[in-house]
Structure 1
Amino acid sequence: MLLHIIARGKIGRSPEGDLVDRYAKRLTWPVKITEWPDTGAGKVAEPITPHRTVLLDERGKAMSSESFAVLLGRWRDDGVRETRFMIGAADGHSDAERAAADLLFAFGPATWPHMIARAMLMEQLYRATTILAGHPYHRA
C-alpha cells in the first residue's frame, strides 16, 4: 500500500525535513510526499482506487501506535492501494474536507506546527509498519 503524505507548505532543509527524510528511508512500504502551496487549491493527480483519506486534525481521533498499525494493516489487507495523509496549513481543513475523510487523526488535542506534525506522522508510519512486521523497534 502506498503511503502518500500530502502537506501544505515546503519543508525544505530543516531539522524537521531531516527527520522526515530519515523515516522515509527506513520505511519498507512505498511512500510518496507531495507538497502543496500554503493556500489555494491542491489536487492529487490520477487518483488511485481504492484509497483512504486521513486528515491530521486536532479534533480527530487520538490512537495508540498499536491501534494505528492495526488500522493500516486492515486497510492494506482489504486491498486499499493508497492511503493519503493530509496535513493542512495554518487554517487547517475545511468542513467539507473533514466530512469526506475516512479518518480524522490527531496527535492529541494540542495544535502542532505542520512541519513537526509531518515528522511525527512519518515516525508513526514507520512505527506502524514495524509493528505489523514484528520488528522490535516498538516496545509496548
Structure 2
Amino acid sequence: MRLLVAAIGRLKQGPERDLAARYRERAAALGRGLGFAACDAIEMPESRARRASDRCAEEAGAILSHLPTNGVLLAYDERGRSDLPSERLAERVGAWRDSGRPVLVVAIGGADGLDESVRNRADLTLSFGAATLPHGLVRVLAFEQLYRSLTILAGHPYHRGDPGGQQPA
C-alpha cells in the first residue's frame, strides 16, 4: 500500500515544512518493512475561483484525481471525528493494507476546507479538534499520525498509549 498526503497549498520553507518532511521520511523508512511501498506528499495549488464553494469544488477535483477507484480516502476536516484513538487508527490502516487496497490518500483541504464530495467519498473523516489550526501544522500532524500508526503496527515503543486500553473504537 502506498501512503499519500494530498494537500491543497504549498508549505513555505521553515519549521513546519522541515517537521512534516521528517515525519514523512520516518514513515517511509518504517513503512517499507510493514508492506507500505511509499509515503509521499503532493501539494496542489489553491483555487483562484471567486466563491468559496467554487474553490472547494475545484480543489476537490484535484484531491480526488489522486484516488484510484479502490483506494482509501482519509479526510481531515473540522467536521470529522476527534475521538478516534491512535491505536484504532493504526488498526484501520493495517486492515486497509491487509485488504489489498493500493493507496491511502490523506486529504487536507485549503483555507475554505474540504468540499462535500471529498467528505462523502472519505472512508474516514477525522478532526484534530474544534480549534482552527494553521495549514502547516495540520500537515505536520497528519504525517505524525501516519508515522505513529506505523509504529503501533510495528510494535515500536514510540507510541506509549493508554495502559488500561479503555479507549473508544
Give the TM-score normalised by structure 2: 0.77
Determine the C-alpha separation between the residues in 1 that align with 2:25 and 2:118.
Answer: 30
Q: Structure 1 residue 115 and structure 2 residue 136: aligned?
A: yes
Structure 1 unaligned regions, length at least 5: none
Determine the C-alpha separation between the residues in 1 that align with 2:130 and 2:79.
Answer: 7
Structure holding more strand per residue? 1
Q: Secondary structure at the match of 1:126?
A: helix
Counterpart code for 1:38: E
Kept in 2, the 8 Å contact 1:49–1:81? The answer is no
Counterparts in 2 of 1:19-30, with a 5 A limit?
A: 19-27=19-27, 28-29=30-31, 30=38
CA RMSD of aligned residues (A): 1.6
Determine the C-alpha separation between the residues in 2 that align with 1:124 and 1:69.
Answer: 9
Kept in 1, the 8 Å contact 2:7–2:63? The answer is no
Give the TM-score normalised by structure 1: 0.92
Q: Percent identity?
A: 41
Q: Secondary structure at the match of 1:6?
A: strand
Counterparts in 2 of 1:28-39, with a 5 A limit?
A: 28-29=30-31, 30-39=38-47
Q: Structure 1 residue 95 and structure 2 residue 116: aligned?
A: yes
Counterparts in 2 of 1:37-76, with a 5 A limit?
A: 37-39=45-47, 40-41=58-59, 42=62, 47-62=67-82, 63-76=84-97
Q: Structure 1 residue 17 and structure 2 residue 29: aligned?
A: no
**Residues 100 and 47 (structure 1 numbering): CA distance in 2 closer, same or farther, change over 3 Å?**
closer
Determine the C-alpha separation between the residues in 1 that align with 2:24 and 2:41.
Answer: 9
Counterpart code for 1:80: R
Cα deviation, residue 89, structure 1:
0.7
Counterpart code for 2:74: V
Counterpart code for 2:23: Y
Kept in 1, the 8 Å contact 2:75–2:108? The answer is yes
Cα deviation, residue 46, structure 1:
6.8
Q: Secondary structure at the match of 1:3?
A: strand
Structure holding more helix per residue? 2
Q: Secondary structure at the match of 2:118?
A: helix
2:167 aligned partner? none
Q: Which moved more, 1:105-114 or 1:40-49?
A: 40-49
Counterpart code for 1:17: R
Cα deviation, residue 61, structure 1:
1.1
